[in-house]
Structure formats: C-alpha cells, structure tokens
Amino acid sequence: MECFSSESCAFVVLLLSFLCFYKLWMMKRKKEDERLKKNGEEFIVPKGNWGWPLIGETLEFIACGYTSKPVTFMEKRKSLYGDVFRTHILGKAVIVSTDPDVNKMILQNHGGAFIPCYPKSITELLGKSSILQMNGPLHKRVHSLIGVFLKSPQFKARITRDIENVIRLALSAWNGSNQVYVQDETKKITFEILVQVLLSIGPGEEMKLLKREFEEFIKGLICLPIKLPGTRLYKSLKAKKRLLEMVSKIIEERKKAMEKTEEKGLPDDAIDVLLRDVGESDEMQQHRLPPDFISGNIIEMMIPGEETVPTAMTLAVKFLIDNPIALAHLVEENVELKKKKDQSGEEYSWSDYMSLPFTQNVISETLRLANIINAVWRKALKDVKIKGYLIPKGWCVLASLSSVHMDETNYENPYEFDPWRWKNISNAASSNTFTPFGGGQRLCPGLELSRLEISIFLHHLVTTYRWAAEKDEIIYFPTVRMKRKLPITIMPLHQ
C-alpha cells in the first residue's frame, strides 16, 4: 500500500509537471500568434497548428515519409489552412509553402531576405564554408566558376566520351551475372564519373578508398547531432577528416604543378577551375580560394554522385518496368539512334543524347514523380511579405517542391508515370511548377550533366540488355531509395 502511494504521488507530480509545461508552451504559442496577428496588418499570417509541446507535428511528418504518398502531410494541411501554412516540425517553427509562385520568390531570394537553413547534422558535418550554407558574393562566385566550366563545349565533348566509357565498362561487367542490383550499380557508375569531373581520378585503389570513406561520411548527413565517440555523426566526421587529407594532398600536388608551368590551357577538372579562380583583376588575385576551402567543397560536390543522380537512374528503370508501353517507346527511340551511329561510324555527341525527345520526357517525368529533392529550407532574415503572406523574421521556411509536383492542378493524374505529358509542357526546365534541381541563384549547375548521365545510361542499358524485375518498392524517408535496391535478372541482346 505504501509502495502504491509512492507510485501514485510520483505519477501525480509527473502529470502536474506535464500540465504546467503544456500550459507554458501554449502561452508561448499564443503570444507568438498575437505577435503575428499584430504584425500581419493587411497581409495574411499563415494559419496552422503548433502540435504537441517540443515535438510539434514531427511524428506525423515522419510517418507520412514512410508511406507511398509522403506529401499527404502537406496536402492535409493545405486543405485546412491554404497553400501556405505554419507548423512545428523537427524542433522548429516552420512556414511551409506549397504555392509555386511563393516558392519561386523564396528560391530567387529577391532582396537577400533568405539564407540557407538546414538540420544541425548537415551543418555540423559540412562545416561553415560549405557551398550549401554559403551565401552572398562568395557563393555566387563559386557557383559561376563551376557552372561556366560544366557548360563549356570542350568539357561537354570530353565528358560525353568519359561517361560512355564508364557506363559501357560497367554494363559489360554484368555479363555472366544472373542478377544485379540497379541501385548499387548506378551508384558505382555515377560516383566514378563525378570523381573524374572533380578530381580527374580514374578507376583503381585510390578511387575505391575515396568511395569507401565517402560512403562512411555521407551516412551522417541525416542523424542525431551527437558527436560522442561511437555515434553516427562522430564516425562520419572522422571519415570526412580522412577525406580532407586525401583531397588536400591532390590539391597541393596540383597547385605545385601549376606553379611550375605558365601554360594555361583548358581546366581539366573542378580542382583546376577553383585553383585558377578565373579572373585577372588585382582584387581577384588577392582573394583566391584557399586550399582547405576548395577541398571541403570538392567533397561536398561528390554528393550527387552518391545520392541524387543514381537515385534518378534507378527510379527511371523502376518506372519503365512498371510501364511496358513507355519502355517499348524508349527502346525504339534509342535503337534507332544506335543504328544511325553504327551505319555512319560517327561518335555520339552530347547533343545526340540530349535531343532524344522521349528519353528526355522519361527523365523529366522521373524527376517529377520521384521528388529526390523534395524541399528547400531557408531562414528569413527579416519579416517578409510574399503574395499576401507574412513570413516572420527568424523563422525557417520550407518550400515544398514535391507538393507542387504532385498537385493535380499542375499535373493531371500526378501519381501516374506519364512521360507523354511533357509533349504538351513547353520549357519545363524554367517552369515554376517543375523544380527538381531547385531554382534561383542556387539552381544546380550540374543539371545538364545529370540529364546527360541518365540519358547515356538508359541508352546503353536498353540497347545492351533486356531484363525481368523482382517486386520492389520506393522508400521516401529519410532519403528516396528502393527498399531492395531494385534487383533485376538481365538477358544480353545478341546482335
């Protein structure tokens, strides 16, 4: 009885503590609501729900990420509160936009009102000088340097041949295999291609070591931000340190080689571009990018080779498997190109792949439906008024790209894989309703390169093999991937 009484008292104390905490939480939220209402004036303060103390609506947000329709979290609140609403997820008060026009203004960042805002594990792992978190003139400078390099005709000609060689070699290694895992194979391909673009490192032990350390590093991007020994973040930080040592050594050797020669031909890779820091003004010469800054950002630029591009390749195969008519149409288009090249004896060019209309439509539809980059996070530096809404200073803003892609007002039957829809959508790359690569000054400079890689992969895959697939499903949280890595049984095409 005495024990029961003690437990009862403890329960009462705990209950009262929770009720007091809940009351304080609600008072704080009420004050915030009053501040927003006062500052809103003629502008509409986004409506929404604060959810539970501390956790807010995080549990439902995460739970929806494990379903086949992860945007249901956004859709439910959009139906209740409108296209722009407020919530409390991942420990932060957040304004969520599912409006393409509001998203465009956030991405364009007119007036410098927004800066990048990411979970602590990402900021901790990438560091303060990360291009992802960088803002202002320095970001614009680095973004421009890489963008100009990737768009040069000389680079396009060379990288097309390099990608072909990597993919042909990879696909030839499939011979004799009864089963391959597409997700694993595409990661090998795209990482090798990107490391060539960034560092000019080819296949071999150095490439294997680099990939092994990078895989350990990237595991910590989305994790609990605890740096104690044995934790995921701790291990990833150690892997990054080893990566920095490897890349810094390459940069130092390259720098010494450049100092020994006055010849300045075309840059071979991203290291060359950033070391040269194009521009001859005195100001540019005095503010060259330091080697440690370059090495950190080179590592960060490897991320698309491990995540976004291979995921797009894998899901393109998945969607084509599920749509035999689309697959047949793609095969027909690519076989026709192969016949022309075989008859003429000409090499493939960048424009050959990029001008395949149905293949490009398949890629666009894959990017829209997969939503590999599902949102962009920003933080308001001041009270911002957009399209009749007020975004309070200091709040995080989540521009939901996936909500726009899956909105039936923008795309008929949005959950269907329909490459033919793109025949009627002009200039999709610049549309407010199609933003798989972000937008504004932070538009991915490698978007054309990514499309080229996927195009070449699909072309050589369908002109080399036919396949039968096992059942698999897409997982959307914490990142987009296949549950079983998309196993397929391959059958070589004999000429």
Strand partners, 491: 466
Give yes or no for residue 194 having a pLDDT over 70: yes
pLDDT of 489 reads 94
Pick the more confident residue, 99 or 276: 99
The answer to whether the CB of 96 falls within 8 A of the CB of 402 is no
DSSP 111-165: GG-EEE---HHHHHHH-TT-TTT--THHHHHHHHHHHHHHH-HHHHHHHHHHHHH
Give yes or no for residue 145 having a pLDDT over 50: yes
Give yes or no for residue 139 having a pLDDT over 50: yes
pLDDT of 280 reads 47
Domain ranges in the chain?
Answer: 2-126, 137-355+443-492
The rounded mean pLDDT for the chain is 87
The answer to whether the CB of 446 falls within 8 A of the CB of 304 is yes
pLDDT category at 33 given cuts 50, 70, 90 is low
Give yes or no for residue 23 having a pLDDT over 80: no
pLDDT category at 7 given cuts 50, 70, 90 is low
Could you say which DSSP state residue 359 is in?
A: H
Q: Which residue in this structure is represented by tokens 């963008």?
A: 147
pTM of the model: 0.88
CATH 1.10.630.10 correct for 137-355+443-492:
yes
- Angstrom distance (rounded) from CA 186 to CA 196: 16
pLDDT of 281 reads 45
pLDDT of 114 reads 92
Least confident of 33-37, 119-123, 214-218: 33-37
pLDDT category at 1 given cuts 50, 70, 90 is very low
| Per-residue pLDDT tens digits for 436-483 | 998 888 888 999 999 999 999 999 999 999 999 999 999 988 789 999
| Per-residue pLDDT tens digits for 264-315 | 778 899 999 999 875 544 444 456 788 889 999 999 999 887 889 999 999 9
The answer to whether the CB of 384 falls within 8 A of the CB of 391 is yes
Residue 344 phi, psi (nearest 5) = -85, -25
pLDDT of 15 reads 56
Share of the chain above pLDDT 90, in %: 60
pLDDT of 242 reads 96
Give yes or no for residue 164 having a pLDDT over 90: yes
pLDDT category at 65 given cuts 50, 70, 90 is confident
User: Is 444 annotated as ligand-binding?
Assistant: yes
pLDDT of 282 reads 44
pLDDT of 22 reads 53
Pick the more confident residue, 159 or 224: 159
CA-nearest of 181, 212, 207 to 194 is 207
pLDDT of 482 reads 94
